[in-house]
């Protein structure tokens, strides 16, 4: 029985990056022996165990055989005779197939160290094409490390798209990889790579069609909407924004892909279509509720935020009410940050001021001085009709909030 450190932990150590998790491969053992040694079995599809003290993962060396489409379409074999190299060859990229033995020696049968040094993502064998998730993972690693994809690997990814293997991706796994890619340092590279191999049009067609769609004349007509979106999500990454903000930024303009540019100046056509497209996309790839809800709000209302200095107090109150800022102030901050990412996602805009955030936060703070409970209590003494009372309370609270917004605007202006 021999144990080897493998995969991402070895890769990241060689790159001088922090190592979060250690994964091990065990050669020459059996499930029974692992349990006798005190390891706790957790694997559903193949034998994986947790160390009794460290909780680190130990997997028995295994081989795989493709039996059907999709990333779950494999038959797994684990015996004490499976070698380390046989286990490593089934992995996706050379940089993920480097091992280290218990004495600290590097074992690199597929020249992964050389590819790390050259900044190349290269598949190990033709078996790469058996798992469509590898398309997403490779694009994600491009975003994480700013590595280039080897031409032969990119060709293989193209082939996987054209032969329909990518259609076997399950929604949950798509979201898992897309969300992880959005959290990388340069998330745009993931989408550029997916587009280059043709996968973006199959996985996220709503984003793919934005490339080539012009920006409005008042914005930056020299870049298209796709490039603007990529600049915006990279700005979100540079500023360490949350996943919800990054996803909302990614999809904020998707209605432009199916809206005639003549409708854009009024912000009606593309924003209305964006809402439905965001809802459909989130349903299709199982986006969690938190990310979905913020994305819908940003798609619907970001243009109003950009024009905050033009809005009447009553319109600002409508905006605060629409985003539920009174009950969810933290989400309101994320909403504003996503709008800021949209604004900054243009050449030369990264360092520009975006006073809309401060203006709207001051408006919300001013409205919080309104005592809705006190207003309701006073009206209950005057109005006995139970059908009219709620309307009267809402009207009076709204009027009081508008008054406070008007007051703070006069002070600011």
- Which class is domain 205-368? mainly alpha
Which residue in this structure is represented by tokens 């031409």?
151
CATH entry 3.30.460.10 includes domain 1-118: yes
- Reported as a single tens digit per residue, the pLDDT across 9-57 is 999 999 999 988 888 999 989 888 988 888 888 866 668 888 888 888 8
- Reported as a single tens digit per residue, the pLDDT across 251-302 is 999 988 876 665 555 555 567 788 999 999 999 999 999 999 999 999 999 9
Domain boundaries defined on the chain = 1-118, 205-368
Select from 300, 289, 307, 398 the least CA-distant residue to 360.
307
- Reported as a single tens digit per residue, the pLDDT across 116-135 is 999 999 999 998 988 899 99
d(CA 262, CA 239): 33
Q: pLDDT above 70 covers what percent of the chain?
A: 92
**Beta carbons of 200 and 157 less than 8 angstroms apart:** no
307 by Cβ neighbours in 10 Å (0-12 / 13-18 / 19+) ranks as exposed
Q: Label residue 386 by pLDDT band (50, 70, 90).
A: confident
Cα-based distances in Å from 22 to 9, 62, 100, 237: 6, 18, 11, 26
């Amino acid at each position: 029985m021999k144990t080897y450190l493998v995969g991402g932990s070895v890769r990241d150590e060689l790159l001088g990056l922090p190592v979060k998790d250690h994964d091990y491969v065990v050669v020459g053992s059996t499930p029974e022996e692992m349990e006798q040694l005190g390891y706790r079995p957790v694997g559903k599809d193949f034998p994986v165990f947790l160390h009794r003290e460290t909780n680190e993962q130990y997997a028995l060396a295994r081989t795989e055989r493709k039996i059907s489409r999709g990333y779950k379409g494999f038959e797994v074999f684990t015996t004490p005779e499976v070698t380390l190299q046989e286990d490593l060859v089934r992995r996706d990229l050379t940089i993920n197939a480097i091992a280290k033995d218990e004495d600290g020696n590097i074992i690199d049968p597929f020249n992964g160290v050389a590819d790390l040094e050259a900044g190349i993502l290269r598949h190990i064998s033709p078996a790469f094409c058996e798992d469509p998730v590898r398309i997403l993972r490779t694009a994600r690693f491009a975003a994480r490390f700013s590595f280039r994809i080897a031409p032969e690997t990119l060709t293989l990814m193209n082939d996987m798209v054209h032969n329909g293997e990518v259609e076997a991706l399950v929604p949950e796994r798509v979201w898992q990889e897309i969300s992880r890619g959005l959290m990388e340092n340069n998330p745009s590279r993931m989408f550029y790579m997916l587009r280059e191999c043709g996968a973006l049009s199959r996985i996220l067609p709503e984003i793919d069609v934005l490339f080539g769609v012009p920006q409005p004349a008042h914005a930056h007509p020299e870049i298209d909407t796709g490039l603007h979106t990529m600049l915006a999500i990279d700005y979100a990454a540079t500023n360490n924004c949350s996943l919800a903000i990054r996803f909302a930024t990614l999809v904020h303009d998707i209605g432009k892909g199916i809206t005639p540019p003549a409708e854009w100046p009024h912000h009606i056509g593309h924003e209305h279509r964006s809402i439905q497209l965001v809802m459909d996309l989130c349903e299709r790839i199982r986006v969690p509720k938190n990310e979905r809800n913020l994305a819908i709000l940003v798609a619907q209302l970001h243009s109003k935020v950009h024009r905050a200095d033009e809005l009447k107090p009553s319109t600002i109150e409508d905006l605060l009410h629409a985003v539920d800022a009174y009950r969810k102030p933290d989400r309101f901050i994320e909403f504003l940050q996503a709008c800021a990412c949209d604004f900054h996602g243009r050449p030369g805009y990264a360092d520009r001021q975006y006073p809309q955030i401060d203006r709207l936060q001051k408006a919300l703070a001013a409205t919080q001085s309104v005592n809705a409970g006190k207003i309701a209590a006073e009206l209950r003494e005057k109005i006995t009709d139970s059908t009219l009372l709620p309307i009267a309370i809402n009207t009076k609270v709204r009027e009081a909030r508008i008054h406070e917004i008007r007051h703070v605007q006069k002070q600011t202006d």
